[in-house]
């Protein structure tokens, strides 16, 4: 008889097709397609169908030849991710420009009162001014006006320019002044206010204006006012040029948004933890009350909103009341999110603290039997719901050459990280945890400030390189690769993602090192943390060290660096860990589908 095992995962639907001869399975083919709809919902059927068809085609069989389809009990968990910033910088009254034009003009620091360049000659002799040069005034006119004003005894100590004209103006001045250019929102610069402007030499960064006491020196601030400018100076750190404009009722503040409490209800314990305390404290609390029954956020706070959002999404997907949705696990990760500074003038960012969470809810088991029923009706083939996903995965994983019981697996998917362990006697223990590939994507996107999740997904999946000339790139590891044909000018001098479809330039000015660090940190924060967390929970003694062999399965185990990161960490616990190779041919893919077929043999 012919059996198809079909595994509906968060990201992909996989099929394993086998023929049973004398009670022994001979595998024929496999199929893999993207999961349609959210896992565990009716929309999955299209994906199941496509995946099955793919496997059948490879084996040159038709649907009618299949005697039995076994689908997974779709580890009744769904993951969702959310992100909330817990600090915010608002600058009111005072304002600043802290962007990084590639070519500011001049050098040094200048202080004066802001004035429109067209009005500068109306200033009193001996006045110290900073001229504002809007788009309408070109560099030739502005340099002429400045030279004229200076010869009339007006101290022009700096210039703020809308166009990319800084160097051109500077080259035409008799007396050099610091010039900040490419200030897009120049009409927001207040006129007749005291301002300080600083341009650092090439290769250096501003020193005076990124130092609160430096600002205090320039503006004669008292200690209380100095405290208030700290967010401004912080936002200016690392820039080559900076402007601060001080208005009389100057008030700059960093506001802390009350993040709220998370309440974790365990089977017999309860814990409360403040989101402000950071991810570590939250994870500690979750560990202390495990097993978790439900997690709630304090109403009316960001934490509450974040968890309720997850609950709402889940309730919509599963057609259950929000109150019936129980969050069973949560992975909290500390992160930084670039947020536009409110009150800035050139879209300055400030890195704000944020906490990202991945939550996992237990879904309804009925959903899978509903899918099984519909499939059966549509295909005319008997469909049954097989065993628990993790149990199946471990059966599949055991087909990896060189593996044997006892064995632990970590199934790193898109929505959840699952672990299971099988002992010598064949007893299986499993666990599902929140946080996997999707969480990594979210962290990458938010830390680098991308709206585009597709870009973050590509950064997660593929290595980076820097295009160093029209003919060569330098890979992350420093190796150089040359090309016969000139590369696309759009990629020139940029960091690119090496996708199978060619190079894709990353917008923005983030360096390769920074993007790489963000990527690897995100993977570590999610997968390495979850690997330890999950093994702790399935280990018979509660100690990770008592597990000897671990194989990694699931889509994220295909990643070019996640398995190494996990293997490396686990080796510190003297665990032999590595990527599985299902049936010796599938790599880390198809474990559950294969397990579903094998479980039939054991009569489960």
Nearer to another protein, 171 or 543 (CB): 171
Q: Are 76 and 155 within 8 A, CB to CB?
A: no
The least distance separating another protein from the CB of residue 189, rounded to whole angstroms, comes to: 21
Nearer to another protein, 103 or 265 (CB): 103
d(CA 154, CA 151): 7
Q: Are 208 and 214 within 8 A, CB to CB?
A: yes
The least distance separating another protein from the CB of residue 14, rounded to whole angstroms, comes to: 37
Write out the E strands in 98-178: 108-116, 128-133, 155-161
Nearer to another protein, 25 or 105 (CB): 105
The least distance separating another protein from the CB of residue 101, rounded to whole angstroms, comes to: 10
Pairing of strands 495-499, 502-505: antiparallel
Pairing of strands 327-340, 179-180: unpaired
Q: How far is CA 258 from the centre of its chain?
A: 23
d(CA 554, CA 415): 11
The least distance separating another protein from the CB of residue 513, rounded to whole angstroms, comes to: 16
DSSP annotation of 507 reads: P
**CA distances (Å), origin 508, targets 177, 202, 450, 496, 514:** 29, 20, 10, 11, 12
Kindly list the residues in this chain that would bind another protein in the complex (CB under 8 A).
Answer: 102-103, 139, 164-168, 171, 468-471, 486, 489-490, 492-494, 505, 507
Nearest to 256 by CA among 309, 301, 215: 301
The least distance separating another protein from the CB of residue 474, rounded to whole angstroms, comes to: 11
Nearer to another protein, 394 or 495 (CB): 495
Nearer to another protein, 164 or 294 (CB): 164
Q: Are 130 and 158 within 8 A, CB to CB?
A: yes
CA-based angle 182:186:189, to the nearest 5? 130
Nearer to another protein, 478 or 489 (CB): 489
The least distance separating another protein from the CB of residue 520, rounded to whole angstroms, comes to: 24
The least distance separating another protein from the CB of residue 602, rounded to whole angstroms, comes to: 56
Q: Are 112 and 192 within 8 A, CB to CB?
A: no
d(CA 531, CA 252): 43
d(CA 484, CA 231): 50
Nearer to another protein, 90 or 470 (CB): 470
Nearer to another protein, 509 or 543 (CB): 509
The least distance separating another protein from the CB of residue 295, rounded to whole angstroms, comes to: 42
């Amino acid at each position: 008889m012919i059996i198809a095992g079909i595994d509906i995962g968060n990201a992909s639907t996989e099929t394993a097709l086998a023929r049973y001869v004398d009670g022994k399975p001979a595998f024929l083919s496999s199929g893999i397609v993207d999961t349609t709809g959210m896992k565990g919902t009716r929309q999955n059927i299209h994906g199941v169908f496509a995946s099955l068809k793919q496997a059948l085609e490879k084996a040159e069989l038709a649907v009618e030849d299949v005697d039995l389809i076994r689908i997974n009990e779709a580890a009744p968990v769904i993951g969702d991710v959310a992100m909330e910033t817990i600090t915010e910088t608002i600058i009111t009254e005072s304002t600043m420009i802290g962007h990084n034009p590639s070519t500011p003009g001049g050098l040094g620091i200048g202080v004066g009162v802001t004035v429109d360049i067209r009005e500068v000659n109306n200033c009193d002799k001996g006045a110290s001014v900073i001229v504002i040069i809007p788009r309408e005034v070109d560099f030739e006119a502005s340099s002429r006006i400045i030279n004229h004003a200076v010869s009339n005894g007006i101290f022009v100590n700096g210039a703020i320019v809308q166009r990319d004209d800084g160097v051109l103006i500077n080259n035409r001045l008799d007396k050099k002044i610091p010039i900040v250019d490419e200030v897009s929102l120049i009409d927001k610069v207040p006129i007749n206010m005291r301002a300080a402007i600083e341009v650092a030499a090439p290769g250096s960064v501003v020193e005076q204006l990124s130092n609160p006491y430096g600002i205090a020196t320039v503006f004669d601030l008292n200690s209380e006012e100095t405290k208030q400018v700290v967010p401004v100076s912080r936002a200016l750190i690392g820039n080559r040029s900076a402007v601060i404009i001080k208005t009389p009722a100057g008030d700059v503040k960093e506001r802390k948004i009350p993040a709220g409490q998370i309440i974790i209800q365990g089977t017999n314990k309860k814990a409360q933890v403040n989101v402000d305390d950071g991810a570590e404290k939250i994870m500690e609390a979750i560990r202390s009350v495990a097993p978790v029954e439900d997690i709630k956020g304090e109403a009316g706070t960001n934490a509450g909103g974040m968890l309720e959002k997850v609950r709402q999404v889940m309730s919509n997907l599963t057609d259950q009341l929000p109150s019936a949705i129980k969050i069973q696990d949560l992975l909290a990760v500390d992160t930084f999110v670039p947020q536009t500074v409110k009150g800035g003038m050139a879209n300055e960012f400030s890195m704000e603290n944020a906490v990202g969470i991945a939550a996992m809810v237990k879904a309804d088991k009925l959903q899978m039997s509903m899918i099984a029923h519909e499939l059966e009706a549509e295909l005319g083939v008997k469909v049954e719901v097989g065993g628990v996903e993790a149990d199946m995965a471990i059966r599949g994983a055991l087909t990896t050459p060189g593996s044997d019981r006892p064995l632990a697996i970590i199934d790193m998917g898109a929505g959840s990280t699952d672990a299971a362990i099988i002992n010598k006697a064949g007893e299986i223990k499993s666990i599902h945890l929140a946080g996997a590939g999707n969480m990594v994507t979210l962290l990458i996107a938010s830390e680098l400030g991308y709206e585009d999740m597709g870009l973050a997904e590509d950064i997660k999946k593929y290595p980076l390189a820097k295009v160093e000339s029209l003919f060569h790139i330098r890979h992350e590891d420093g190796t150089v690769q040359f090309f016969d044909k000139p590369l696309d000018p759009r990629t020139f001098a940029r960091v690119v993602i090496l996708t199978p479809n060619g190079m894709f330039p990353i917008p923005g000015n983030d360096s390769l090192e920074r993007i790489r660090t963000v990527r690897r940190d995100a993977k570590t924060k999610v997968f390495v943390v979850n690997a330890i967390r999950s093994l702790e929970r399935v280990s018979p003694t509660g100690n990770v060290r008592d597990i000897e062999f671990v194989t990694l399965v699931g889509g994220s185990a295909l990643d070019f660096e996640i398995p190494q990161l996990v293997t490396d960490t686990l080796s510190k616990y003297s665990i032999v860990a590595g990527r599985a190779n299902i049936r010796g041919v599938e790599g880390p893919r198809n474990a559950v589908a294969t397990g579903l077929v094998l479980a039939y043999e054991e009569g489960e």
